[in-house]
Structure formats: C-alpha cells, structure tokens
Copies of this chain bind each other. A is one copy, B any other.
Amino acid sequence: MRDRLARVRELPLLRGVGVRDELSRLQQQIERVQAEPSEEEIWRAVELARHQDRPYTLDYVERLFDDFVELHGDRHLTDDPALVCGIGRFRSRSVALIGHQKGRDIHERSRRNFGMAFPEGYRKGMRVMELAQRHGFPLLTLVDTPGAFPGVAAEQHGQGGWIARSQIAMAQLGVPTVACVIGEGGSGGAVAIALADRVLMQANAIYSVISPEGCAAILWRDAEQAKKAAAAFRPNAANCLQLGVVDSIVQEPPGGAHEDHDAAAAMLGDALVAALTDASKIDATKRRAKRREKFRMMGVYTT
C-alpha cells in the first residue's frame, strides 16, 4: 500500500488544493492499515459488509438517537421501506437522517427489497433533504445497499433520473452533510445519497461500482470469479481511502460490527459527530462550492 501511496503522490491525480489535505489524512490513517490486503482479505471485507448480523441503519438509529421520528412516503405513490428517513436528536443536535435498510429476517428483507430502493425511496429522501434545508438540520446518510432496485416498475418510474436528482439535491444543500458507508455501498443506489461534505466508511464496509459477481459475469463471463473480481477492483475501505473517495475510516469492534452492535454504534457515533463538527466549520455560503470542489478532485488521469 505504501508503494501505491507513493505512486498516488507522483501522478498528476487528485489535483488541486484538495491533494495535500487528502494526503495528510491518508498519512494519519495509514498506520492503522497494516499492509496491502490479499485477495482473501478483500473477500473477507465483502463477506463482512454483507454479514447477516451486521448492524443496519435502524440499529444505529436506536443506539445513537435520543429521539427519532421516522418520516414516510414520497407524496405520490408509496412509501419505500428500503430507505429509512426521519428527523431526530443526535448527540444534542437535531438532524435529518436518510439510510438504506436491508431488513433482518427474510420477511423484512423481502418487504424492504434487501435495501434496494425504488425511485420513490429517493424521492422520499429528497423530501427530507428539503425539510433539513428549511430548518437548518444537518443531514446524515447511512449507505447500505447492493444497488438500486433493478425491476420493471423502478425503471419505468425513472430509476436513473431519480438517482441523478437525489445527487444534485444533495449537491445544492446549504446545510452540513455527512455520509457513511456502513455495509454495501453498491453503485448508483449508493451514490444517490452519498454526495456529502464528508464521506466516511466503516472498516469492513465495501464501496463499489458494481458487485463482484456482476463484474465477474461481465469481464470473465463467469460469476464464480467474484473473488478474483473483488481483488481486481478492491472495494475495501483502505483502497477507497487511498483513492481519496472517502475521507476517513470508521473503526469497528474486533471481528467486525456484527460482533458488538453497541460498540460499533459508539464508534460510528463518535466519527459522525467529528465529521459533522468538521463540516460545520465551513462558512455556510461556501459550503456548496466546497462540496463541489471535493468531488471535482475525484479521478485519476494524465494531462
């Protein structure tokens, strides 16, 4: 990993003023990331990120919020249970929250579509963003989805368009925003709610453009090659941090978040508060432009 970090420094990538910040952040965290992860280690992150006992959004809400009022419905067609939205009291602040919710047992998983949102879910989220903006509530988002729901109605209702609109709604917010990938950060369904001032990622979460299985099916024409695919595109937290995609890594209890929900929640809570405090320091009138600049820096190319 140190090699790659060195390479990152040399390339004309992550350009502009953000680079130094990113690098120093990287430096601070690199001690924790012991070594270049092997194929097995990356696959372990994939498995942990999808672990059936991993805490979900509502598990964290229950532990981190003093009071939480869930909000429902897109005001047009339905309430999408794959995306939980609400307002509440978090560490003595009032905040708005949007998070994917996979569901614990098979019944709930099916009801929540395994955390795969429909356009109506993102529309509900945008409604809560408006509410946050109107009342000056910072916005927290928790990302945990295999991806947006790939069905007929979801497509017909404009899945692509609403993922785009949810992102630009986050881009336009004047309030501080913090996102954290707490499990699977799956492609468009994930970035729909992850365009934030600060983006965090739990140590065993993954964040990726496509599922390992999907990637394997396309590139190797063999879904069985998922492990190999995962090793190739490295959806693990250390890689995302190294590439400047996330700002910091949120530690998990030994063995992973599923081993101790309370401890995982405490660590997440501390990280969210720190990021929120950090994001709140920016002059509100400059926040939108700063947020744009952050995402502008993402990418690697030569000029």
Which residues does A use to contact B, with CB under 8 Å?
A: 75-77, 119, 123, 157-158, 161-162, 165
Contacts and interface: CB of A to CB of B under 8 A. Distances in A.
Contacts of A157: 76-77
Contacts of A162: 75-76
A77 B77 CA distance: 10
A119 B158 contact: no
13 contacts: A75-B158, A75-B161, A75-B162, A75-B165, A76-B76, A76-B77, A76-B119, A76-B123, A76-B157, A76-B158, A76-B162, A77-B77, A77-B157
Contacts of A123: 76
A162 B75 CA distance: 8
Contacts of A158: 75-76
A30 to B, nearest CB: 43
A109 B153 CA distance: 29
Contacts of A76: 76-77, 119, 123, 157-158, 162
A165 to B, nearest CB: 8
Output the residue of A76, A123, A158, A165 with the most chain B CB within 10 A.
Answer: A76
A105 to B, nearest CB: 30
Contacts of A77: 76-77, 157
Nearest to A77: B157
A22 B249 CA distance: 64
Contacts of A75: 158, 161-162, 165
A211 B158 CA distance: 37
Nearest to A157: B76
A75 B162 CA distance: 8
